[in-house]
Amino acid sequence: MKINFDFLKQKGLPEVPSVGRESDPSILRKNIESIEKSILGNWDKASLVLLELDRKKIADIADRKAYTTPAQVDEIRQRLQAHIETVLALASSLGLQMHNSGIQAEEVGSIKFLYFVIILGKDPKYIEQEKTANEDGDVVTTGKLRGYPDTAAEWYGRNHKSVSVAEHNSFILNLRKEGLEQSEIRRLTQERFPFLKEPTSSSEVIKREGLGQFMHFRLSPEHWKDELDVVRQNRDAIRINAPKLYAELTGSNK
């Protein structure tokens, strides 16, 4: 696989990571191939590839599992710990900085969960910014660090308080656990949380262009056309630089 730096230049994207971790294109190529070969889910693979291509400052990988009886806790802890070790091993091989929350407990209504969140980045200052923003409930900063357009992050920041973040995150993680495609996750999430529903026109474009698997953020009603350009750039970056992952995301490998 060859990293297409001409494409990055044409799109106005940096050709190499900003902190100089990968001045050699062969290292970037090797890292993306390692991500494609990993056992992570395609959503997490895509997030890491976009991090490698400097489309975002941080990526986060999380897992959350519900339990109903104390007898299930040990097994769930073992499964989560195995997932953590897989992520940390890959991140270490990629030379990424990381912050591991460890296994945490949470209750949403009557449902009990164990979960972890690992924040990954090339530059530790962005990980610190994410930790601070998370502690402060600053969803605008966390969105921008993840590569969301400013307009989308700011719109979400103005409206997200109408939804419990814990409830929203738990709902999405449970859908991912069921192995649903990202387009179906988006549809079900929008049904559950109406304020997240995209304008009808944008939904038609997303469906027509097959962008659903590359939607890593919510579109704002006022600026969705410009924001979809960012989605297209992310899709094209993955298509050209991580073709195996692109085939898995789009089903073209079947």
Q: Is residue 168 part of a domain?
A: yes
pLDDT over 80 at 55, yes or no: yes
In the prediction, which pLDDT does 164 show?
A: 66
CB 53 within 8 A of CB 240: no
| Residue 81 vs residue 161, higher pLDDT | 81
Give residue 230's domain range: 16-250
Q: Is residue 1 part of a domain?
A: no
pLDDT (tens digit per residue) in 38-54: 999 999 999 999 999 99
% of the chain surpassing 90 pLDDT: 58
**115 is written with which tokens?**
């979960």
**CA–CA dist 21, 18 (Å, integer):** 8
In the prediction, which pLDDT does 158 show?
A: 85
CB 51 within 8 A of CB 37: no
Q: Is residue 179 part of a domain?
A: yes
Q: Is residue 7 part of a domain?
A: no
pLDDT over 50 at 17, yes or no: no
Phi-psi region of 32 (alpha: psi -120 to 50; beta: other; left: phi over 0): alpha
Residue with tokens 């297409």: 4
pTM for the model stands at: 0.80
pLDDT (tens digit per residue) in 106-128: 887 778 899 999 999 999 999 99
* Phi, psi for residue 194 in degrees, rounded to 5: -55, -30
What is the number of structural domains in the chain? Answer: 1
Phi-psi region of 98 (alpha: psi -120 to 50; beta: other; left: phi over 0): beta
